[in-house]
Amino acid sequence: MTTKIGLRGVGKVFRVRGADRPFTALDRIDLDIRDGEFLTLVGPSGCGKSTLLDLIAGLTPPSSGQIAIDGVPVTGPGLDRGIVFQQYALFPWRTAAGNVEFGLEAKAVPKRERAERARHFLDLVGLAGFEERYPHELSGGMRQRVAIARSLAFDPDVLLMDEPFAALDAQTRESLQEELLRIWEKTGKTVVFITHGIDEAVYLGQRVAVMTSRPGRIKEVVEVAFDSRAGDLRAEARFGEYRHHLWNLLRDEVAAAQREEATSVA
């Protein structure tokens, strides 16, 4: 097993204007994300999941500790990491293909190849035939597919996804989950996927990292192992056992977060 992303004693402190002391969002995070694995990350709202993803993405530097990818310290954003956010960060004035091609223009990929790659990745996410549609002509699920195609088009080693399906209806979410697993199996990318859904975490993750409420730490990393991915995993007894275990872990953390909120309001 090789480590793709290594986090060592990672902390993040925000200095908030008007507040008398700095706010610790993340504290001493140690985590090894394996090369090619699908890791899901769950934790109560506000525990620092998005902050952690931003740090791995290199959008903001850690206040302490180190993050390395393939052993090389992260010093900023890079094309080795693709990011997909919850909200569709698409350019409304560009077609689906135009959105996917955007990053390739920055990489100076020739026009013909850009168009071919855009078509390939839109096809991969199930959007063949929708290349010339504008975002407002697409459903929420389709827009999120475009966002995924766009991040895949760079061919990043690592895909960082921050609650990408949270705004979608249940049926669209389930079909996108399946598509994403298929793409992951096909491409062998390392995926870090944040969710607040326990079912989603168990369904998608080979491992589920559970975070504590403020400040965010890694509470436990749960290995999820099914005999086979064929059939309806959600109906398996083991699915229910993982779900129950994670639910217990999270219940304590959500309660802690609520207690803290109550005392800070009082």
- Binding region for Mg ion (CB under 5 A): 49-50
d(CA 141, CA 137): 12
Q: Which is nearer to Mg ion, 48 or 62 (CB)?
A: 48
Torsion of CA 191, 51, 257, 224, to 10 degrees: 10
Helix and strand counts by DSSP (H, E) for the chain:
7, 10
**Residues contacting 159, CB < 8 A, separation 6+:** 81, 82, 84, 151, 152, 184, 189, 190, 191, 192
> From the CA atom positions of the chain, what is the Rg in Å?
19
**Residues contacting 112, CB < 8 A, separation 6+:** none
Query: Does residue 48 touch ligand ADP according to CB under 6 A?
Result: yes
d(CA 7, CA 194): 16
Question: Which range touches ligand ADP (CB under 6 A), out of 41-49, 141-149, 167-175, 242-250?
Answer: 41-49
Question: Which range touches ligand ADP (CB under 6 A), out of 38-46, 98-106, 223-231, 232-240?
Answer: 38-46
Closest approach of Cβ 126 to ligand ADP, in Å? 28
Closest approach of Cβ 162 to Mg ion, in Å? 6
Query: Does residue 16 touch ligand ADP according to CB under 6 A?
Result: yes
Which position among 9, 14, 107, 238 is part of the footprint of ligand ADP (CB under 6 A)? Answer: 14
Query: Does residue 67 touch ligand ADP according to CB under 6 A?
Result: no
Q: Which is nearer to ligand ADP, 47 or 96 (CB)?
A: 47
Q: Which is nearer to Mg ion, 103 or 197 (CB)?
A: 197
33's tokens: 């994300």
Closest approach of Cβ 35 to Mg ion, in Å? 25
**Residues contacting 170, CB < 8 A, separation 6+:** none
Query: Does residue 264 touch ligand ADP according to CB under 6 A?
Result: no
**Residue at token pair 């740090």:** 55
Query: Does residue 257 touch ligand ADP according to CB under 6 A?
Result: no
Question: Which range touches ligand ADP (CB under 6 A), out of 43-51, 106-114, 122-130, 224-232?
Answer: 43-51
Q: Which is nearer to ligand ADP, 152 or 222 (CB)?
A: 222
Q: Which is nearer to Mg ion, 115 or 167 (CB)?
A: 167
Q: 194: how many CB neighbours lie within 10 A of its CB?
A: 25
211's tokens: 């975070």
Question: Residues 29, 64: contact at Cβ < 8 Å?
Answer: no
Closest CA to 210 of 256, 259, 176: 256
Query: Does residue 24 touch ligand ADP according to CB under 6 A?
Result: no
Query: Does residue 23 touch ligand ADP according to CB under 6 A?
Result: yes
Which position among 51, 95, 177, 213 is part of the footprint of ligand ADP (CB under 6 A)? Answer: 51
d(CA 107, CA 127): 23
Which position among 6, 11, 43, 205 is part of the footprint of ligand ADP (CB under 6 A)? Answer: 43
- Which residues of the shown chain bind ligand ADP in the complex (CB under 6 A)? 14, 16, 23, 25, 43, 45-51
